[in-house]
Structure 1
Amino acid sequence: MADAAVGFVVEKLGNLIVQEAINLHGVKDEVEWLKEELETMQCFLKDADAKKNKGDDERVKNWVAKMRDVAFKAEDIIDTFMYYKLRRQQGQPGCIGFIKRFVFMFDELVRHKVHVDVKGIKVKLHQLSESKDLYGIANIGETFGTTSQHVIPISPQLSDDIDMVGFDDEKKKIVQELVDINNANRAVISIVGMGGLGKTTLAKSVYNDLEVKRSFNIFAWVIISQQYTIFEILKGILSEQSKTSPEDTIQTLSEKVYEKLRKGKYLVVLDDVWKEDAWTELLKVFPDVNNGSRVIITTRFVNVAKIANPTTKPHELRCLDEKESLELFLRKVFPNQKVETCCPTYLVDYAHQLVQRCGGLPLALVVLGGLVSTKPQTQDAWRKVVESMKGQFVEGGERCLEIIALSYNDLPYYLKSCFLYFGCFKEDRTIFAKKLIRFWLAEGFLPAKNGKATEEIGLDCLEELAQRSLIQVTNRKYDDSVRYCRIHDLLRDVCIREAKENRFLEIYQNDTANCAARRLIIFNEIETLNYSNSKLRGLFYGNSNNLLPFRALQGQLGRFKLLRVLLLASSDISEFPSEIKSLIHLRYLELEIWDLKEVPSWIGHLRNLQTFILFCGNLKKISDSLWTIGNLRHVNLPSLLLRASRPPPPNMGNNVPKNLQTLKWVYAGSWIGNALPKLTNLRKLCIYGVSNDDADALSSSLQKLGRLTSFSIDGNEIPSDNIITAFSNQHCLKKLSLSGSLNRKQLPHNDVFPQQLVDLCLIDSGLEQDPMATLGKLPCLKYLQLGRDAYIGKQMICSATGFPQLLSLEISRLYELEEWKIEEKAMSCLKSLWISSCGRLKMIPEGLKNVPLDQLEIFFMPEEFETRMKENIGEDWYKIQHVPNISII
């Protein structure tokens, strides 16, 4: 991690020299010297880190730690200097006669402080430089800016099923137990094995099996983990289709779960159960109505399995044999190629050596395969990987941890910092990629690349971590970029271990923490924050699932002058904490304060703010000063679903934040005509309260937003003609959502409709003419949602060869729809179909039998409609018998 700290600081010094060259005055020479010295020392760090990780010498470990501390000290000097510089710019003395003398004295003091601090670093660097020869630390030629080999992005089509090797027999046994018609009792089936052995992968393969999908009609998958709460587990079982409310308790949720499950034959997976209590607390919500319902438990502990089902032997997973291990390894190194022929003969021996080191542990094989996939296919490159591994690995999970550490150590310096940030999230949590990248951006971790936006570089970093199998991509967006990801708990263990050792972060527990850590994470309620490090860069206090009392932070926030990232989820305040005003280094500010009424005027003091995200329920005022922050990139205000009142529209004036890329959940107003045309860097825009009065201004403004990729509007009346015409010649817009009555009852001709759309959502449109005639001709459309009276006609026709790229179609609450036709070769790529609450629709279309569906979900449809689809006996069964995954609720 020392190379990550040094590399990061060297880049920051370079940026400071370039951006502040005119203003640095006497400080510039000091900063340039510091950059050059750290750059030189970085050349020795890879060898030092390698020696440290092999445990060659305790003195080398100390040398690396001291080098890291020097880098942190240099970063503190830079940020402190910039803090004083910004504070001077923002607030000079009130008496005009003393301004010049004050500024002169201030500059002299700052320059003197920087000089003294750099002088101290010079002494430490000189000592470290002399001692490196004593410890045998060599310059192995890696200079600043070196990155890994070219990475082939992970394919969106790759699934967990591809990684399942060696468990086919076990899968057959479990499937047979699940679908056994001779056992009508509710049964619990357990999969047991050490971490990294493939329990979840096997369970997913069983869960998605065609025979299993057709044997149950209610499904739920919930991750339990070590720090579970019964409340969150119950919400997970209820899933998106069942309503919950803020007033729900464990008792009310238990009743809702019980009622949901007793209405059908259910299959529920409880993944990663650590404690016996988890099952005993949940047992009462799983009804046994003699219909063959099942529960699958995955756990590392045999005693958990025995408590859940003492009469049936659990499925205890074994390690893979050498043949299976080689197959899994080669699948990762050479994706989408035949395992038998993919590996060049001159590399086969090295492949066997690498596989043997993994001891048959699937996660170790996958991670090591991900590492090797980034290397050139040469004997020299593969031999170096073999040599970098220890001769003797310890058994079991520790072996896996060693291999994960090897893959981590192979990362470029900036990716190490990006990977360690996963430790800021709770175990087994799904992580929003966009949020993670904005954290990285705020911290300055993302390297500059000519011609690429910083957010795009962040997505590249995620893809590389995914290819290396250090993270898992769980969901992708309409453009195939990462939407959500997660990290295996063993990988998270390594992440947190490295992060703590290198002072990257600390998880606050029992009122104690390493006060030298640069980031502090507080998940649980505390009385008072006992933390003395004023150089803190990131503070994470609570989250959306756990709002914490603010009293623990009262009077303490202002101490962290160098804070760049602040996430504050608090339950007992109704105002912006005034101490935030002094945190002028903040780049990322996310507040979840439900009673917040106002964004204060001093928000404009946060001149470095890039991301501002607000969750609250009754916001009444947003200060105009927010829009004077020139560095603003992303602003998310509370959505319509979260608030009880309508805040005023923004008043941006003339000083608009021209770097703004995301503006979400703002109300329509005069700003649409005055300020919106100036936001030429906008990529994502969401406006509420749009009406026909905004038609001309919106149309004129949109034509000037040439970089817009995603646009969403909500209103009682939507001026569709003006909007669609404004987009007809744009090539960046990929996603469009219109929620509200359109000002005409039919869509315009398809030549006028934006041809480049990939994702389209129409809700409450009130269209009287079938929209499919226009939409079916959009050549790039992949995702389509028609919801709540988007179309109020009785017949809908998907014409022959229409929707050539469509992958997903959602039809919901089209209350007047009676007949739907799919003509020959229409929807030739459709994989997912969702039909919900269309009460007059008589049957599924005949043409569906020719559509290559993978998944069909039916919700809240009439009993007659569902009866026609019953397996083997329904009148419409022949239309969908080819679909592997069918869910009817």
Structure 2
Amino acid sequence: MAELAVRSVVQKLGNLIVQEAMDLHGVRDQVEWLERELRRMQCFLKDADAKKNKGGIDGERVKNWVTEMRDVAFEAEDIIDSYMDLKLRGQQKDGCIGFLERYMFILVELIGLHKVHVDLKGVKVRMHELSESRTSYGIANIGETIGTTSQFRSQDVIPILPQLNEEIDIIGFDDEKEKIVQELVDITNTNRSVISIVGFGGLGKTTIAKSIYNDPKVRKNFDRLAWVIISQEYNILEIVKKILSAVSITSSGDTIEKLSAKLFNELTIGKYLVVLDDVWEENVWDQLQKVFPDVDNGSRVIITTRFLNIPKIADPTAQPHELRFLNENEGWELFLRRVFPRQNIETCCPIYLVDSARKLVKRCKGLPLALIVVGGLVSTKPKNKDAWEKIVKSMKWQFVEGGERCLEILALSYNDLPYYLKSCFLYFGCFPQDMAIPAKTLIRLWSAEGFLPTKNGKTIEEVGMDCLEELAQRCMIQVTKRKYDDSASYCRIHDLLRDMCISEAKENRYLEIYKNGTANCGTKTNAARRLMICQEIETLNYSNSKLRGLFYYNEYIYNTLAFKALNEQFGGFKLLRVLYLNSLDMSEFPSGIKSLAHLRYLELHVDNPKEVPSWIGHLRNLQTLIVHCRMFIGKISDSLWTIENLKHVDLGISSSVPPPNMGNIELKNLETLKWVPAGEWIGKMLPKLTNLRQLNITNISVDHADALSSSLQKFVQLASLTIQGDEIPLDNIITAFFQSTLPQEIVYLGRIQL
């Protein structure tokens, strides 16, 4: 997270240097120095992140250094955003009143710029101190490369818990095991085949592989067998030695060339089965496949991995075995076998403990590792309801015996993520438990926060979808629904991973959760960047001028007190970029939002809105506006269409009155336009929206057919069209829509006229 914070600030500093009026008080020189120093410090952060994860006194000291580095980066970001806030507030306005307002603001701006100068000097001093102290902590310069910290992984990681017992822990995967065994012993397939077992950490990949490896039917089918654990930190020479020692006798003094040749020759003699357990990188297979001969005798290689891309590379023709979570009955059986070993599953659990046991099983969400850890804990407690209910009520994984180890195993995948994916993953902590999260919502939020890297030839949305798919490929999240073009539509995160996500987010000042009227927001210089409120509130006792994201969820339909509480505090969140008000029903747009000049993402529920207010135009940085409402919006202010940065507009049921001209701006960035009523603007303004990818228009009639079809011919990127009306003329509209070669979908709502 420190690396991400530094990269974000470096980018902002580069942009800030080119701003006008930067020479006042020597601010420009300080900003340039800070940019150079932060860029240089990036070279040390990967090594520091690796060292802090090794624990011990030295690891703790380095961890403190990384924390200070992150805090300095956050402080620099706050200074930059505060400066940009001054610039936004002081922009020239039209007319005499605008001139007077600008003139009166000059003094405020001078005071603000002086504060920026003083604050930057303080950051400069702290940066110098950190630079001096890093050498005493042994933090090395390992080069500035975008990637993961996985190249500096700890060797102290045990891939599975030692108490796992294959005979009882295979529950729920008997069918999958039988399929793999059949593939292994299939005499009709004489090619060397690679069989892959893929799944989320803790699902039991290694357990199943061991059960298969030790199966008598399998062992008698092969002449030579070898099992080698790859894990995150690996050495190809050592792997080759281990395989060779399992099938023959090796000489430790031989070179990799000699050992590889010897292993290849040994494996050509007879039929072999080699298990490569816990593979993390494609490079492992790229190198090892050279020592696995294919002599047409039915030899096999089994790979266990958390990554779906590795099986595709190892054997593109084979379908990987993707493990699932256990269902309720399977989870119940596994739990009872841990708590009551060697007892009858049907009768072992006393009736007075069944309710508590069911709650614990439900808490594990079908994850075998979690069920084993909790079952092991419960087995040590007295068999009475009070003792078990105490565990149910107080269970926090990091405080459960064995739970910390469980979280560590899950955290391996997180630690291996590239810096930008870490921040994308932690965003899942901003959503309620078990929520089906729209993929497009996530990507737009990531974009608003500036998390997504730029890639030549790809839009920011395409980069975001790539990030989402990579998280799914790494089994960090689950894609629960896909669209017609196979892209992700909805996703979710396992509860246990969400717990780990929130724990990591809190430690890194990424997210805080507001509970029982308070949040552990720390000091003003130590406040979290995002706040999630998941409860009914009457007053909001939270002060944090550094807040970048605010998320509110409420199951109640009407909550005027919550609306008032939030509206009164928006003025204190001047640097807010994301405002996500889910299920907060209001009769109007909260007026406090108009002061949030940095806002890029706004989503809210408005029960019966009279209008999209004119002050919406003050939000010059707004990229996404989503309005959920039960009734028609009475009026859409023209000022909405003056926001040049707008990319996505979804107005829910929208207005029955079309916008007159949608302003005089071409809205070159607009990609999504949903639930806007048809009108003259279709002929005047729609043809200018050439970057549209999704279009949803209501109240279409025959009168709009020619103008709409003419506009559609210009939209080479349009992939989704929804039109609604009493009489929908489809003949020329369909022809115009399908001019593009993109995957497309069209939806008609109403009476179709051909």
Mapped partners of 1:488, 1:370: distance in 2: 22
Mapped partners of 1:324, 1:547: distance in 2: 55
| Matched residue, 1:138 | 140
- 1:195-226: CA deviations, max 9, x gaps? 97659x9xxxxxxxxxxxxxxxxxxxxxxxxx
Mapped partners of 2:212, 2:550: distance in 1: 42
Map 1:340-351 → 2, pairs under 5 A: none
- Specify whether residues 90 and 684 from structure 1 end up closer, same or farther in structure 2 by C-alpha distance, changes over 3 A only: farther
Shift of 1:320: 2.3
- Specify whether residues 583 and 728 from structure 1 end up closer, same or farther in structure 2 by C-alpha distance, changes over 3 A only: closer
- Specify whether residues 5 and 326 from structure 1 end up closer, same or farther in structure 2 by C-alpha distance, changes over 3 A only: farther
Of residues 647, 662, 667, the one that matches 1:652 is: 662
- Specify whether residues 350 and 658 from structure 1 end up closer, same or farther in structure 2 by C-alpha distance, changes over 3 A only: farther
Unaligned runs of 5+ in 2: 152-167, 178-199, 215-225, 244-276, 289-302, 307-397, 522-526
User: In the alignment, is the contact (CA less than 8 A) between 1:45 and 1:64 conserved in 2?
Assistant: yes
User: Secondary structure of the residue that 2:532 maps to in structure 1?
Assistant: strand
| Matched residue, 1:417 | 423
User: Secondary structure of the residue that 1:86 maps to in structure 2?
Assistant: helix
Shift of 1:117: 1.3
Mapped partners of 1:712, 1:93: distance in 2: 41
Does 2:630 correspond to 1:628? no
Mapped partners of 2:409, 2:175: distance in 1: 27
User: In the alignment, is the contact (CA less than 8 A) between 1:689 and 1:716 conserved in 2?
Assistant: yes
Q: Which amino acid aligns with 2:30?
A: E
| Matched residue, 1:540 | 551
Does 2:716 correspond to 1:706? yes
| Matched residue, 1:116 | 118
Mapped partners of 1:443, 1:28: distance in 2: 25
Shift of 1:507: 1.1
| Matched residue, 1:496 | 502
Q: Which amino acid aligns with 1:736?
A: I
Of residues 587, 600, 614, the one that matches 2:627 is: 614
User: Secondary structure of the residue that 1:555 maps to in structure 2?
Assistant: helix
- Specify whether residues 588 and 168 from structure 1 end up closer, same or farther in structure 2 by C-alpha distance, changes over 3 A only: closer
Unaligned runs of 5+ in 1: 151-163, 174-194, 202-318, 328-338, 353-367, 386-392, 745-889
User: Secondary structure of the residue that 1:405 maps to in structure 2?
Assistant: helix
Mapped partners of 1:131, 1:543: distance in 2: 47
User: In the alignment, is the contact (CA less than 8 A) between 1:92 and 1:99 conserved in 2?
Assistant: no
Mapped partners of 2:169, 2:691: distance in 1: 47
- 1:400-426: CA deviations, max 9, x gaps? 311322322222221111111010011
| Matched residue, 2:747 | 737
User: In the alignment, is the contact (CA less than 8 A) between 1:8 and 1:413 conserved in 2?
Assistant: no
| Matched residue, 1:64 | 66
User: In the alignment, is the contact (CA less than 8 A) between 1:561 and 1:584 conserved in 2?
Assistant: yes
Q: Which amino acid aligns with 1:114?
A: V
Of residues 123, 128, 131, the one that matches 2:130 is: 128
User: In the alignment, is the contact (CA less than 8 A) between 1:650 and 1:666 conserved in 2?
Assistant: no
Q: Which amino acid aligns with 1:521?
A: M
- Specify whether residues 376 and 459 from structure 1 end up closer, same or farther in structure 2 by C-alpha distance, changes over 3 A only: farther
Shift of 1:93: 10
Among the aligned pairs, what percent are the same residue?
60
- Specify whether residues 517 and 342 from structure 1 end up closer, same or farther in structure 2 by C-alpha distance, changes over 3 A only: closer
Of residues 716, 721, 732, the one that matches 2:731 is: 721
Mapped partners of 2:212, 2:648: distance in 1: 45
- Specify whether residues 404 and 655 from structure 1 end up closer, same or farther in structure 2 by C-alpha distance, changes over 3 A only: same
| Matched residue, 2:210 | 323
User: In the alignment, is the contact (CA less than 8 A) between 1:369 and 1:468 conserved in 2?
Assistant: no
User: In the alignment, is the contact (CA less than 8 A) between 2:650 and 2:675 conserved in 1?
Assistant: yes
| Matched residue, 1:590 | 603
User: Secondary structure of the residue that 1:89 maps to in structure 2?
Assistant: coil
- Specify whether residues 690 and 486 from structure 1 end up closer, same or farther in structure 2 by C-alpha distance, changes over 3 A only: same
- Specify whether residues 321 and 101 from structure 1 end up closer, same or farther in structure 2 by C-alpha distance, changes over 3 A only: closer
After superposition, the CA RMSD in angstroms is 3.7
User: Secondary structure of the residue that 1:513 maps to in structure 2?
Assistant: coil
Of residues 510, 517, 528, the one that matches 1:517 is: 528
Map 1:188-587 → 2, pairs under 5 A: 198=203, 320=207, 323-324=210-211, 369=278, 371-373=280-282, 377=286, 396-515=402-521, 516-542=527-553, 548=559, 549-569=562-582, 571=584, 573-587=586-600
Shift of 1:450: 1.6
| Matched residue, 2:75 | 73
Mapped partners of 1:661, 1:370: distance in 2: 40
Mapped partners of 1:375, 1:23: distance in 2: 54
User: Secondary structure of the residue that 2:490 maps to in structure 1?
Assistant: strand
User: Secondary structure of the residue that 2:134 maps to in structure 1?
Assistant: helix
- Specify whether residues 95 and 376 from structure 1 end up closer, same or farther in structure 2 by C-alpha distance, changes over 3 A only: farther
Of residues 682, 688, 693, the one that matches 1:672 is: 682
Q: Which amino acid aligns with 2:132?
A: E
Mapped partners of 1:350, 1:407: distance in 2: 27
Shift of 1:442: 0.5
Mapped partners of 1:350, 1:438: distance in 2: 49
- Specify whether residues 371 and 400 from structure 1 end up closer, same or farther in structure 2 by C-alpha distance, changes over 3 A only: farther
Shift of 1:543: 5.2
Shift of 1:98: 6.0
- 1:217-270: CA deviations, max 9, x gaps? xxxxxxxxxxxxxxxxxxxxxxxxxxxxxxxxxxxxxxxxxxxxxxxxxxxxxx
Shift of 1:653: 3.1
Q: Which amino acid aligns with 1:666?
A: V
User: In the alignment, is the contact (CA less than 8 A) between 2:150 and 2:416 conserved in 1?
Assistant: no
User: In the alignment, is the contact (CA less than 8 A) between 1:593 and 1:615 conserved in 2?
Assistant: yes
Of residues 615, 626, 634, the one that matches 1:602 is: 615
User: In the alignment, is the contact (CA less than 8 A) between 2:3 and 2:45 conserved in 1?
Assistant: yes
Q: Which amino acid aligns with 1:582?
A: S
Question: How many residue pairs get matched?
Answer: 548
Shift of 1:114: 2.1
- Specify whether residues 731 and 172 from structure 1 end up closer, same or farther in structure 2 by C-alpha distance, changes over 3 A only: closer
| Matched residue, 2:330 | none
User: In the alignment, is the contact (CA less than 8 A) between 1:632 and 1:657 conserved in 2?
Assistant: yes
* More helix, by proportion: 2
Q: Which amino acid aligns with 1:528?
A: T
- 1:45-100: CA deviations, max 9, x gaps? 12222222222333222211111110100110111111110111165996688678
Q: Which amino acid aligns with 2:90?
A: R
Mapped partners of 1:8, 1:79: distance in 2: 12
Mapped partners of 1:168, 1:741: distance in 2: 50
- 1:698-723: CA deviations, max 9, x gaps? 11111122211111111121121221
User: Secondary structure of the residue that 2:65 maps to in structure 1?
Assistant: helix
- 1:480-502: CA deviations, max 9, x gaps? 21111111112111111110001
| Matched residue, 2:195 | none
- Specify whether residues 743 and 98 from structure 1 end up closer, same or farther in structure 2 by C-alpha distance, changes over 3 A only: closer
Q: Which amino acid aligns with 1:12?
A: K
Shift of 1:527: 2.5
User: In the alignment, is the contact (CA less than 8 A) between 1:7 and 1:144 conserved in 2?
Assistant: no
User: In the alignment, is the contact (CA less than 8 A) between 2:647 and 2:670 conserved in 1?
Assistant: yes
User: In the alignment, is the contact (CA less than 8 A) between 2:90 and 2:102 conserved in 1?
Assistant: no
Map 1:802-821 → 2, pairs under 5 A: none
TM-score of the two chains, using structure 2 as the length reference? 0.66
User: Secondary structure of the residue that 1:37 maps to in structure 2?
Assistant: helix
User: Secondary structure of the residue that 1:595 maps to in structure 2?
Assistant: coil
Mapped partners of 1:456, 1:350: distance in 2: 43
User: Secondary structure of the residue that 2:120 maps to in structure 1?
Assistant: helix
User: In the alignment, is the contact (CA less than 8 A) between 2:517 and 2:540 conserved in 1?
Assistant: yes
Mapped partners of 2:539, 2:690: distance in 1: 45
Shift of 1:399: 2.8
- 1:496-523: CA deviations, max 9, x gaps? 1110001100111112212211100001
| Matched residue, 1:637 | 651
TM-score of the two chains, using structure 1 as the length reference? 0.57
- 1:621-668: CA deviations, max 9, x gaps? 1111101100000001113xxx7x734446403224221000011111
Mapped partners of 1:702, 1:634: distance in 2: 18
- Specify whether residues 121 and 370 from structure 1 end up closer, same or farther in structure 2 by C-alpha distance, changes over 3 A only: farther
User: In the alignment, is the contact (CA less than 8 A) between 2:585 and 2:605 conserved in 1?
Assistant: no
| Matched residue, 1:30 | 30
- 1:544-567: CA deviations, max 9, x gaps? 777653133241111100000001
- Specify whether residues 565 and 30 from structure 1 end up closer, same or farther in structure 2 by C-alpha distance, changes over 3 A only: same
